[in-house]
Amino acid sequence: MSILIDDKTRLLVQGITGNEGSFHTQRCIECGTRVVAGITPGKGGSEILGLPIFNTVAGAIEKTRANASIIFVPAAFAADAIMEAADAGIPLVVCITEGIPVSDMVVVHNYLRGKQTRLIGPNCPGLISPGKCKVGIMAGAIHLPGNVGVVSRSGTLTYETVAQLTSLGIGQSTCIGIGGDPMPGSTFIDILKLFQEDKDTNLVVLIGEIGGTAEQEAANFIKEKMTKPVVAFVAGATAPPGRRMGHAGAIISGSSGTAQDKISALATAGAIIAPSPAEIGTTAKKVLGTLS
């Protein structure tokens, strides 16, 4: 089993005619994703990669019964693209676009309240359920179907973690990069809830980083609600305060944003802490060994 996406997912690509959109659409198709259409205003009625292009999300849904969308629209227009997809009733929207102003995301968050749309991202690599569906930009070849869920704020560390797990013969149920912006559409808690409910996910690997309090909030949820083991790693132990490290949200602006504070909270909640990024896979293997 998996969460959010599977072999029944019918995917739209907003911004399909751009270089990034067309390139990653092809990679998603190669991973078995059922891509049904693209959206580029003004190019409706044409085709790309053998797929029909529509001017609007609503028009595409009417013809294709799409139930997910991935967004490659430039940052200036990405918030409107998210809201258009939500307006059309798309249950899952994955926004890859980086550089969206926080003020735009405030509008998006308010707009999504009360709607059934779940947003992953922005500024994220997306998600993959290996062997079933990929809605993202990660390399499909490094993944292996299995029973370990992965959720991460860091795209690069997601790939590193998955590569380690696969090299050890440990497959993944679903891997999700929630993005490193200050206002992500889905939080650690949102995804942990889904993994907790998924009967075929036996263990969760959580990758955090400096900035904000998302990891502490996840720790509270792990302590109170999770019955499945969680392996955690938090990047940024040597980051200097006040300097943004990579992601827009990765900046230490108070004691709660430090890696050590996050690690302490997660360890206190019962998560098993990987001592270094190179040991995430082996730590997960040890924990899995105690479950058998």
Residue 144 tokens read as: 């292996």
Quickly count: other Cβ atoms within 10 Å of residue 29's Cβ.
16
Secondary structure (H, E, C), 191-206: HHHHHHHCCCCCEEEE
**Can 109 be counted among the known catalytic residues?**
no
Whether the Cβ atoms of residue 133 and residue 9 lie closer than 8 Å to each other: yes
Judged by DSSP in three states, 273 sits in: strand
Handedness of CA 104, 191, 13, 180 (dihedral sign): positive
Whether the Cβ atoms of residue 174 and residue 3 lie closer than 8 Å to each other: yes
CA-angle at 165, arms to 169 and 151, nearest 5°: 140
Instruction: Tell the residue number behind the tokens 């690690």, with chain if given.
Output: 263
**Residues pairing with 53 in the sheet:** 38
Strands 203-209 and 172-177: unpaired
CA distance 70 to 6: 15
Handedness of CA 235, 101, 124, 206 (dihedral sign): positive
Distances (CA, A) of 291 to 162, 169, 176, 201, 248: 20, 16, 23, 12, 38
Q: Which of 24, 109, 143, 247 is catalytic?
A: 247
Whether the Cβ atoms of residue 57 and residue 82 lie closer than 8 Å to each other: no
Question: Which one-letter amino acid corresponds to residue 113?
Answer: R
Active site residues: 247
